[in-house]
Amino acid sequence: MRIDALLRAGRTRSFEFFPPKSDDESVTLEATMVELAALEPSFVSVTYRGGTESRQRTFDLVSRIQGDTGIVAMAHLICVGHSVEELREILTNYLANGVVNLMALGGDVPTDPALARGDYAYASELVSLARSIGDFSIGVAAHPLGHPRSPNRTSDRRYLAEKLRLADFAVTQFFFDAREWVELVSELSDLGVDKPVLPGIIPVTTLAGIPRMATMGAAVPPALVDRLERAHERGGASAVRAEGIAAATDMCRELLNEGAPGLHFYTMNRSTATREIHEQLYGV
pTM (2 d.p.) = 0.94
Name the DSSP letter for residue 202. -
Instruction: Determine the residue type at 234.
Output: R
Q: How far apart are CA 74 and CA 62, in angstroms?
A: 7
Q: How far apart are CA 284 and CA 280, in angstroms?
A: 8
Query: Counting every residue, how long is the chain?
Result: 284
Positive or negative torsion for Cα 153, 154, 160, 164 = positive
Specify the pLDDT at position 132: 97
Q: How far apart are CA 246 and CA 240, in angstroms?
A: 10
Domain extent for 269: 3-282
Query: What is the number of domains present in the chain?
Result: 1
Q: Which of 16, 180, 243, 276 is catalytic?
A: 16
Secondary structure in 3-state letters for 224-270: HHHHHHHHHHHHHHHHHHHHHHHHHHHHHHHHHHCCCCEEEEECCCC
Q: Tens digits of per-residue pLDDT, 148-181?
A: 888 999 999 999 999 999 999 999 999 999 999 9
Q: How far apart are CA 15 and CA 34, in angstroms?
A: 12
Positive or negative torsion for Cα 270, 273, 275, 277 = negative
Specify the pLDDT at position 56: 87
Q: Tens digits of per-residue pLDDT, 5-33?
A: 999 999 999 999 999 888 899 999 999 99
Element (H, E) at 170: strand 169-174
Q: Is 40 a catalytic residue?
A: no
Question: What does the pLDDT average to over 92-111?
Answer: 88
Chain Cα centroid distance, residue 63? 18
Contacts 24+ apart (CB under 8 A), 217-226: 217/143, 217/148, 217/173, 217/174, 218/144, 218/145, 218/173, 218/174, 218/175, 218/176, 220/176, 221/176, 221/177, 224/176
Instruction: Assess whether pLDDT exceeds 90 at residue 55.
Output: no
Q: How far apart are CA 54 and CA 242, in angstroms?
A: 34
CATH number of the domain residue 210 falls in: 3.20.20.220
Instruction: Assess whether pLDDT exceeds 60 at residue 115.
Output: no
